Structure 1
Amino acid sequence: MKRFTRLAAAAVIASLGAGTAIAEGLYTPNLSYRTGPFAATGIPLMNGQADYMAMLNARDGGIGGAMIDFEECETGYSTEKGVECYEKTKGKAIVTQPWSTGITLQVLPKTNVDEIPILAPGYGFSPMADGKVFQWAFNIPAGYWDAADMIVQYIEGQGSLDGKKIVFLHLDHPFGKEPLPLMESLAEQKGFELVPVPVGLKEMQNQSAQWLQIRRERPDYVVMWGWGAMNAGAITEAVKTKFPMENMLGVWWAGHDADLKIVGEDGKGYKSISWSFPNADAPVMADIKKHVVDAGNSQSNEEEMSGVFYSRGIIISAILGEGIATAQKHFDTAEIDPGQLRWGLENINMTEERISELGLDGMVPPFSTSCSNHTGHSGGWMLEWDGEKFVKVSDLLTANVDNYAELIASSASEYADANAPWPVNEDCEG
């Protein structure tokens, strides 16, 4: 395990002087993946997360007077290693951040016993939105079903979907299969043909067979549910086969600047839904540069810091920080426990005003949570690659959650029944 904020924390403590009382700290481990087949996407995300927490330690002395111990436990995106990291860190942690749908599904039942919140921003298991059933799990600020709905909304905005054909190019992994129930439902409702095309973990960099099938299908659109090396492989094949890039759209994990820079201008028009956006002029970026980068405590670089995934890492840590601060204020203590953090994560109210107070202007849409709503359903922007960078090409899109609320409830209920006895939050009323 690696510690990226200890030096910054020690510097802050030293600067405060021997006579200053300091809380012991908040242990918020991150199950990182800086190695393995998904490292190219993991590194900027982890750097953004770590730099935000290091900035809070250096600028503010942590959160609410308690320093943040943001330790990383490397998983390589392996479910087995992820479970090992969870077991290693859960003893004193106030949160677990699994960073994989596979790991999330494995630790989900354990958190009911251990009573520790899972924070899985924008990933994990979509029915986790039902906070009454999944009382210890959060996929704030938006879930996979939200993403699928918003992508289909955007496509429909270009014209009727009746009679159209959409290929669903997805990683053959729990992450890639997550949206299928909703995509199938939307296909039935809107009259389009859905053609699932899976990509095996060993096929991510060589998708010639998948793109041969796509050429034969001649779809109107390709929706890509990709991750890591799969994204670059798919985008490269799309360009090679001359698929119209303006008709290829990805989930937020398939909108990584480095993947598109491989094809540059040829990738122009490719789109990705996103609940985060890089804003170099946001005050938080200046604070990170001053307190972390200039102090030599960042592993990032200028190019990476301008990208979507680094800024998303910042937003993820900001969400965790807001949950911590909300709990500290409510329970009037700096050193909160996991149960108190759960309450904090259930009572986030990220208004435009609060986003501005945190220096995150333009970087995340407003959202709020409750004991029954563990996702927030923030909405997102459609981003488009302009040949050099991602730019916003839509107003804020919001998911039609009411359209699949029954799917959330029934899937949550099925999961609870299959894993009985499954404790639920009987006190949750809203």
Structure 2
Amino acid sequence: MKHFTRLALAGALAAATAGASMAQELYAPNLAYRTGPFAATGIPLMNGQADYMTLLNERDGGIGGAKIDFEECETGYSTEKGVECYEKTKGKAIVTQPWSTGITLQVLPKTNVDAIPILAPGYGFSPMMDGKTFQWAFNTPAGYWDAADMIIQYLESQGSLNGKKIAFLHLDHPYGKEPIPVLEQLAAEKGFELSPIPVGLKEMQNQSAQWLQIRRMRPDYVVMWGWGAMNAGAITEAVKTKFPMENFLGVWWSGHDADLAIAGADAKGYKSISWSFPNMDAPVMKDIQSMVIDKGMSKTDETEMKGVFYSRGIVISAILAEGIRAAQAEYGTAEINAEQLRWGLEHIDMTEERIVELGLDGMVPPFKTSCANHTGHSGGWMLEWDGEKFVKVSDLLTPNVAGYQALAEEKAKEYADANAPWPVNEGCDAM
């Protein structure tokens, strides 16, 4: 029945895009980072993204009859190289995927002029949730402020935070600083003490100074906004200093299986909030295995495929594909342009039923975007490392967006004023 439903939807889309069988390819480049200091996390993400698009091309003939050109432009996670990749690809691209908060901030003002949407799933500048101000930027399905709120919600479910100490161990980079405004606001509201502890790019693998500070501080919890080698370095130090793992939590980019595998059973109890979850029994995984991997069209391996980051890459490409489908149906053409895709990304409706139709069972929570809401605020699950893999240890948590909506509007206005003249979509309703 599920297969029939997918076929019916595909038929309806094909009818809406008559003549699509002759359509040209849609160019959706990815600013990848398979090299550099964060390659270990970038590789499984890029593999998952690429494999899903390859599946759509092989199984469905693309999207709406148009094959997807998912070319990668290697940035090494360098902001300078990322901007170069953006400039190189923007001419014919229908989307740009920066894959770094630093790169996102650099290209954000350019997209207004170039009229090309930014897709930054689960990262980037949090006030991009305000679609009225940031017409071309999307950080679906959840943003960093959502993550900070959900982590605090989870901790509060374990007991009052009033009088507690929380150390905020973060990469000293725009990405690592993103949640600080919301964490500071929550600290004032809930009565906990927040102590930011930055980790420089050159300190990622040797955090002895930071963990000495944590040991002296004796916080009740450590919340980590780490990335790449910083994650493994922090987990290693936590084990070495015998910090209780059950009180150590990270954002979704700090929940990479390979980082935890280094410590193995010693890291048992570590937690990470996540808007994606690997489900090897999901139909999409079986299709990728038979139609992509078994045909030698993938760079992944069996271990990586079971991990959180590979499946997250699949979900990210599925989100992009949904935006493309929505735009094709609205405009009656397979060969959509960047401006039409922007409309499509504003009209994603990932219901539970649609998630199942896509074969993504249990891999992503439901969410919906709109002209004013460019994030979707899907919510997420708290995952815990059981010594070998991540498992869910919470029901779906949903962010209290109303709690920081005013802050988002304030920061969005500050950004627009600082970059004036800044076009605002007055046609959008409030968030």
Q: State the secondary structure of the residue aligned to 2:387.
A: coil
The CA deviation string for residues 166-215 of structure 1, in whole angstroms up to 9 with x for no partner, is: 00000000000000011011000000000100000000000000000000
Task: Give the residue type in structure 1 aligned to 2:57.
Answer: N
Partner of 1:249: 249
1:224 aligns to what SS in structure 2?
A: strand
- Cα drift, residue 369 of structure 1: 0.3
For residue 21 of structure 1, report the CA deviation from its aligned partner.
4.3
One-letter identity of the residue aligned with 1:420: A
Quick one: distance in 2 between partners of 1:296 and 1:183? 45
How far apart, CA to CA, are the structure 1 residues paired with 2:86 and 2:427?
28
Does 1:290 pair with 2:290?
Answer: yes
The CA distance in 2 between the partners of 1:209 and 1:416, in whole Å, is 38
Instruction: State the match for 1:4 in structure 2.
Output: none
**Could you tell me which residue of structure 1 aligns to residue 61 of structure 2?**
61
CA deviation map 1:5-48 (0-9, x unaligned): xxxxxxxxxxxxxxx94311100000000000000000000000
The one-letter amino acid of 1:159's match is G
* Cα distance between partner residues in 1 of 2:216 and 2:28: 48
* 1:353 paired residue number: 353
Q: Which residue of 2 aligns with 1:158?
A: 158
Q: Which runs of 5+ in 1 are unaligned?
A: 1-19
Residue aligning to 1:3: none
Alpha-carbon distance in 1 for matches of 2:75, 2:93: 17
Helix, strand or coil at the partner of 2:223: strand
Q: Distance in 2 between matches of 1:58 and 1:289?
A: 12
- How far apart in 1 are the matches of 2:286 and 2:64? 21
TM-score (norm 1): 0.95
Q: Which runs of 5+ in 2 are unaligned?
A: 1-19
Aligned residue for 2:5? none
Q: Distance in 1 between matches of 2:333 and 2:428?
A: 24
Instruction: Give the conservation status (yes or no) of the 8 Å contact 2:21–2:66.
Output: no
* Residue 323 (structure 2) aligns with: 323
Q: Supply the AA of the counterpart residue of 2:247.
A: N
Amino acid at match of 2:188: E
Q: Tell me the secondary structure at the aligned position of residue 93 of structure 1.
A: coil
Structure 1 residue matching 2:404: 3-state secondary structure: helix
Task: Give, as a single letter, the amino acid of the residue that structure 2 aligns with 1:223.
Answer: V
Distance 2:258 2:178 in 1: 25
* Distance in 1, Cα, partners of 2:96 & 2:399: 27
TM-score (normalizing by structure 2):
0.95
Cα deviation for residue 428 of structure 1 reads 1.4
Deviations 1:276-330 (A, max 9, x none): 0000000000110111001100000010000000000000000000000011011
Give, in whole Å, the separation in 2 of the partners of 1:291 and 1:281: 16
- Contact 2:101 2:175 survives alignment (8 Å): yes
User: Is 2:187–2:193's contact at 8 Å kept on the other side of the alignment?
Assistant: yes
Amino acid at match of 1:71: E
Tell me what 1:280 maps to: 280
Match of 2:222 in 1: 222
Q: Secondary structure at the match of 2:25?
A: strand
The percent of aligned pairs where both chains have the same amino acid is 81
Deviations 1:352-394 (A, max 9, x none): 0000000000000000000000000000000000000000000
Structure 1 CA distance for aligned equivalents of residues 332 and 246 of structure 2:
51
Q: Within 5 A, what are the aligned runs for 1:21-420?
A: 21-420=21-420
Amino acid at match of 2:359: G
**What is the rounded CA distance, in whole Å, between the counterparts of 2:428 and 2:344 in structure 1?**
14
Q: Classify the secondary structure of the residue corresponding to 1:86.
A: helix
Q: Which amino acid aligns with 1:307?
A: G
Instruction: Give SS of 1:33's match.
Output: coil
State whether residues 21 and 65 of structure 2, in contact with CA within 8 Å, keep that contact through their aligned partners in structure 1. no
Q: Is the 8 A contact 2:161 2:191 kept in 1?
A: yes
Q: 3-state SS of the aligned residue for 2:145? A: helix
Which one-letter code corresponds to 2:319 in the other structure?
Answer: I
Other structure's SS at 1:92 match = coil
Tell me the CA shift for residue 427 of structure 1. 1.4
Q: In the alignment, what sits opposite 2:10?
A: none
Note the C-alpha offset of 1:429. Answer: 2.4
Question: 2: CA distance between counterparts of 1:411 and 1:429?
Answer: 18
User: How many angstroms apart in 2 are the aligned matches of 1:411 and 1:334?
Assistant: 37
Give the distance between the partners of 2:324 and 2:107, measured in 1 at CA. 21
How far apart are 1:220 and its partner, in Å?
Answer: 0.2
Aligned residues: 412
Residue by residue over 1:255-294, the C-alpha shift from the partner in whole angstroms, topping out at 9 and shown as x without a partner, is 0000000000000000000000000000000110111001
Give the conservation status (yes or no) of the 8 Å contact 2:129–2:373: yes
Distance (Å, rounded) in 2 between the aligned partners of 1:368 and 1:104? 22
Q: Which secondary structure does the structure 2 equivalent of 1:315 belong to?
A: helix
Aligned equivalents of 1:275, 1:381: Cα separation in 2? 6
Name the aligned partner's letter for residue 83 of structure 1. V
Specify the SS of the correspondent of 1:415.
Answer: helix
Matches of 1:68 and 1:153, distance apart in 2: 40
C-alpha RMSD of matched pairs (Å): 0.9
- 1: CA distance between counterparts of 2:21 and 2:343? 26
CA distance in 2, matches of 1:22, 1:124: 36
